[in-house]
């Protein structure tokens, strides 16, 4: 079946032109995801450095669960892209329906768990007093947005796999506009709801994410082209079971990968808390800046996975190899250029987040140092997504476990605390772990796409 939606990327466009045509709105959508957190951090940080610490510590466990949940849903994008490559567009709607059901289940379970465990988690982090109670309060509010956000992620993944990312991009930025309004209104205590600071930012996140989900669902239901992808058509029991099985298999491996990576960064955040509130605030700024930068390779990774998945579904190994290397190469070039700008603009970047001299003093050198890992961090995420699109789902998980748990956490702790390097020590741990992950995944993709390899051999590997 041939559908008009596929031609949103013109058929005459191939190679890098086609990849970037899909990638730029996906990148803007991913930046929109991060922009919500950045807006919260900027507004809260300029309101109070203490509230920024509460926000960061309350968000850290939630971010682990959010990222893991997103990983669980990656199968929606991979399976949809593979079905398009196989010429089974009419089954794409079945993937969306299953993805939404899966997202709701994961979202409600995650929200309940985070809400119930907020105080115990702060105790496990060895935080005390107001730092613990205020961070737990913020965490409980953040947890309420889990179900709506994960449903929104499924809708975004599905539209991107159909090479129709622009509507999702505009809806995402509409939700961001709402988030900015809510932050500016609520964080300083200007609203009549009696909340301010980190807790108010949490409520702004709940409202904007709910609006994001509603906007995406309304668009899909109103879009006439969605019917051509079998939005309401049932598939056979055998195919339905296979789609569930494949979605969970791909998602479990991806979730494991994202869990260990995000848990590693959350662990570094906890170490920053052991050093002091000012270090936590500095690390929060670093994570926000690195997160904004990371959205660029994350968008390129999604676009690369769609094209590699199309090629894999069509059993076109040349297309798999071509788009994988195009995605990796362009990411390396773009991130290297961006790293130079961040290196020289470190003071300007930090000034957007903080006004207090002590916080600026420790955050500026950390941001400059962080520029060292941008390129390899981008390469590893693009290579990992390309491998998953080829059904090589567990090697990225193993690589991230070794790099971000086995190397980054102990090294970051040793450099930051026993060696008394503080925030700089934590950043060096991230730099070395990112280089290790990037080099290994790059080598893995190169091996599996070497001349003479085949999709049959790759699948067996």
What digits encode the pLDDT tens for the residues 433-450?
Answer: 999 999 999 999 998 887
Kindly report, residue by residue over 70-115, the tens digit of the pLDDT: 889 999 999 999 888 888 888 889 999 999 999 999 999 999 999 9
Q: What is the pLDDT of residue 11?
A: 43
Q: What is the pLDDT of residue 9?
A: 47
Q: Tell me the domain boundaries of the chain.
A: 12-460
Kindly report, residue by residue over 26-82, the tens digit of the pLDDT: 889 888 877 887 788 888 888 887 888 888 888 878 877 888 888 899 999 999 998
Q: What is the pLDDT of residue 36?
A: 84
Burial label, 4 (beta-carbon count in 10 A; 0-12, 13-18, 19+): exposed
Q: Name the more confident of 328 and 60.
A: 328
Q: What is the pLDDT of residue 21?
A: 87
Residue 277 has pLDDT above 80, yes or no: no
Kindly report, residue by residue over 184-216, the tens digit of the pLDDT: 999 888 887 878 888 999 999 999 999 999 999
Kindly report, residue by residue over 372-384, the tens digit of the pLDDT: 889 999 999 999 9
120 vs 303: CA distance, rounded Å:
40
Q: What is the pLDDT of residue 399?
A: 93
Residue 460 has pLDDT above 50, yes or no: no
Q: Name the more confident of 279 and 1.
A: 279
| Lookup result for tokens 């005390």 | 128
What are the backbone dihedrals phi and psi of residue 231, each rounded to the nearest 5 degrees, phi first?
-55, -35
Q: What is the pLDDT of residue 13?
A: 54
51 vs 405: CA distance, rounded Å:
28
| Lookup result for tokens 């929200």 | 111
Q: Are 60 and 198 in contact (CB under 8 A)?
A: no
Residue 279 has pLDDT above 80, yes or no: yes
186 vs 189: CA distance, rounded Å:
5
Q: Are 404 and 433 in contact (CB under 8 A)?
A: yes
Residue 124 has pLDDT above 80, yes or no: no
DSSP letters spanning 85-149? HHT-GGGHHHHHHHHHHHHHHHHHHHHHHHHHHHHHHHHHTT--HHHHHHHHHHHHHHHTTHHHH
- Average pLDDT rounded to a whole number, residues 275-299: 84
Residue 159 has pLDDT above 90, yes or no: yes
335 vs 445: CA distance, rounded Å:
19
Q: State the average pLDDT for the chain.
A: 86
Residue 458 has pLDDT above 80, yes or no: no
- Average pLDDT rounded to a whole number, residues 332-343: 91
Strand spans (E) along 1-73: none
Q: What is the pLDDT of residue 457?
A: 39
Nearest alpha-carbon partner for 283 in 274, 414, 33: 274
- Average pLDDT rounded to a whole number, residues 159-170: 92
DSSP class of 229: G
- Average pLDDT rounded to a whole number, residues 154-169: 93
| Ranges 44-58, 318-332, 424-438: which has the least confidence | 44-58
**Token digits for 92?**
């794409």
Residue 10's pLDDT band, with cuts at 50, 70 and 90, is: very low
Q: Are 41 and 349 in contact (CB under 8 A)?
A: no
Residue 5 has pLDDT above 50, yes or no: no
Q: What is the pLDDT of residue 6?
A: 36
- Average pLDDT rounded to a whole number, residues 331-344: 91
Residue 8 has pLDDT above 80, yes or no: no
Q: Are 28 and 302 in contact (CB under 8 A)?
A: no
Q: What is the pLDDT of residue 14?
A: 64
- Give the global pTM: 0.79
Q: What is the pLDDT of residue 453?
A: 64
Kindly report, residue by residue over 382-413, the tens digit of the pLDDT: 999 999 888 888 899 999 999 999 999 999 99
Q: Are 277 and 49 in contact (CB under 8 A)?
A: yes
- Average pLDDT rounded to a whole number, residues 287-296: 84
CA distances from 320 to 165, 230, 315, 325, 349 (A): 21, 26, 9, 9, 38
324 vs 334: CA distance, rounded Å:
16
Beta-carbon contacts of residue 60 (< 8 Å; ≥ 6 apart): 266, 269, 270
Residue 454 has pLDDT above 70, yes or no: no
Residue 260's pLDDT band, with cuts at 50, 70 and 90, is: confident
Percent of residues, the chain, with pLDDT higher than 90: 39
Q: What is the pLDDT of residue 346?
A: 79
- Average pLDDT rounded to a whole number, residues 128-154: 91
Q: What is the pLDDT of residue 22?
A: 87
């Amino acid at each position: 079946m041939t559908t008009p939606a596929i031609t949103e990327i013109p058929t005459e466009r191939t190679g890098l032109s086609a990849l970037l045509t899909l990638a730029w709105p996906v990148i803007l959508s991913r930046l929109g995801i991060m922009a919500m957190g950045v807006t919260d951090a900027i507004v809260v940080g300029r309101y109070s450095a203490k509230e920024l610490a509460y926000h960061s510590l309350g968000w850290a466990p939630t971010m682990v669960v959010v990222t893991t949940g997103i990983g669980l849903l990656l199968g929606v994008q991979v399976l949809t892209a593979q079905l398009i490559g196989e010429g089974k567009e009419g089954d794409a709607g079945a993937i969306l329906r299953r993805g939404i059901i899966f997202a709701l289940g994961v979202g409600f379970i995650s929200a309940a768990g985070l809400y119930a465990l907020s105080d115990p988690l702060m105790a496990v982090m060895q935080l005390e007093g107001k730092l613990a109670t205020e961070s737990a309060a913020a965490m409980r509010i953040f947890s309420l947005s889990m179900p709506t956000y994960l449903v929104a992620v499924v809708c975004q993944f599905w539209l991107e796999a159909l090479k129709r990312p622009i509507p999702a991009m505009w809806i995402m930025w509409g939700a961001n506009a709402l988030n900015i309004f809510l932050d500016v209104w609520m964080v300083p205590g200007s609203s009549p709801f009696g909340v301010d600071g980190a807790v108010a930012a949490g409520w702004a996140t709940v409202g904007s994410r709910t609006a994001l989900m509603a906007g995406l669902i309304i668009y899909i239901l109103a879009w006439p082209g969605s019917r051509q992808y079998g939005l309401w058509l049932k598939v056979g029991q055998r195919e339905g079971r296979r789609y569930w099985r494949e979605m969970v298999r791909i998602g479990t491996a991806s979730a494991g990968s994202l869990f260990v990576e995000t848990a590693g960064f959350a662990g570094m955040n906890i170490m920053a808390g052991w050093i002091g509130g000012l270090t936590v605030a500095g690390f929060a700024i670093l994570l926000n800046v690195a997160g904004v930068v990371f959205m660029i390779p994350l968008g390129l990774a999604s676009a690369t996975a769609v094209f590699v998945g199309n090629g894999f579904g069509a059993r076109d190994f040349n297309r798999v190899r071509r788009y994988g290397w195009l995605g990796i190469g362009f990411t390396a070039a773009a991130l290297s250029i961006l790293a130079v700008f961040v290196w020289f603009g470190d003071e300007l970047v930090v000034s957007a987040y903080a006004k207090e001299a002590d916080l600026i003093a420790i955050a500026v050198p950390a941001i400059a140092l962080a520029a060292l890992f941008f390129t390899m961090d981008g390469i590893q995420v693009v290579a990992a997504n390309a491998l998953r699109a080829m059904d090589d789902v567990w090697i990225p998980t193993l690589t991230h476990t070794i790099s971000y748990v086995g190397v980054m956490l102990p090294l970051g702790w040793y450099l930051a605390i026993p060696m008394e390097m503080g925030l700089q020590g934590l950043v060096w741990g991230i730099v070395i772990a990112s280089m290790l992950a990037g080099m290994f995944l790059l080598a893995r993709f190169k091996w599996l796409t070497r001349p003479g390899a085949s999709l049959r051999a790759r699948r067996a590997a």
